[in-house]
Amino acid sequence: MSLLASFTVIGGPSSEQLARKIASKLRSRYVGCELKIFPDGESKITLKAKITGKIIVVHSVYPPIDSNLVRALALISQARKYSSQVYAVIPYLGYARQDREFLPREVVTMSLVAKLIKAAGATRIVVVDIHSMMALKHFEIPARNVTAIGELVRYFKNLHLKNPLVVSPDMGGVERARNFANLLGTSYIALEKHRDRKSGEVEIKSSKHQEVRNRDLILVDDMISTGGSIVKAAEHLKRQRCGKIYATCTHALLIGDAEKRIRKAGVTKIVGTNTIPSKLGMVDVSSAIVRAIV
């Protein structure tokens, strides 16, 4: 048996297709599970086969965040009963934005989540484009963040855009935009954004950007949740007489009517990855995850 084949990959309810792709690339055994949700909201998970060897649990913690977190912990705990090596692959890790105390008396929930994942039995964790590297510092087990930027860039190279320009909707995403632009072979800019910590309202403070005129733009972010930042950025850029606007991210959460609002703001296409399974999760990140594992 090869080193890769010694893995057993468990596909959690939130990441079944991604887990299958990871197992295929690792040439490893795949084990699915059945999920039953009781009337009171409790989740009951049953594995479809026995598990052996080093175990990889693949389960994203996206909305419903709390339910998916408990399901991930349950799978990790079950895996640890059969193996001393349990890799928790959590492509989208909920609560990563609560990694520090932004306002007085705020609970740093990410610290608790890290403790729960370790207590459940994970011996290491792999995430994809986590919102802040500060979140990984809460883990007391080996933690690896991988990026989907390379996979996203390959997708956009096939679109043959008109003199593309990469745009970060805020200054915090400058490094992401720079890396994206370098791989795409073009330039980038970053907008100046202000978000009210209490109301959540977003305002673009940047002045005019002459360099966007008649160019196709790629708005790049790690996640799109309610779409507020992308909407404000798109409206601002449209006033600068740019070409088409594309929005791309690793985690396309798109809560509520976010997709409709983003398209109404002038965005031609929204491109996400399969860390969140949906019609917009068209870019596969399994190869990036496998590289982090082996």
Q: Which of 48, 193, 238, 264 is catalytic?
A: 193
In whole angstroms, what is the distance from residue 56 CA to residue 7 CA?
7
In whole angstroms, what is the distance from residue 169 CA to residue 193 CA?
7
Q: Which residues of 41-52 are buried (b: 16+ CB within 10 A; e: fewer)?
A: eeeebeeeeebe
How far, in whole angstroms, is CA 47 from its chain's centroid?
25
44 is known as an active-site residue: no
- Residue numbers annotated as active site: 193
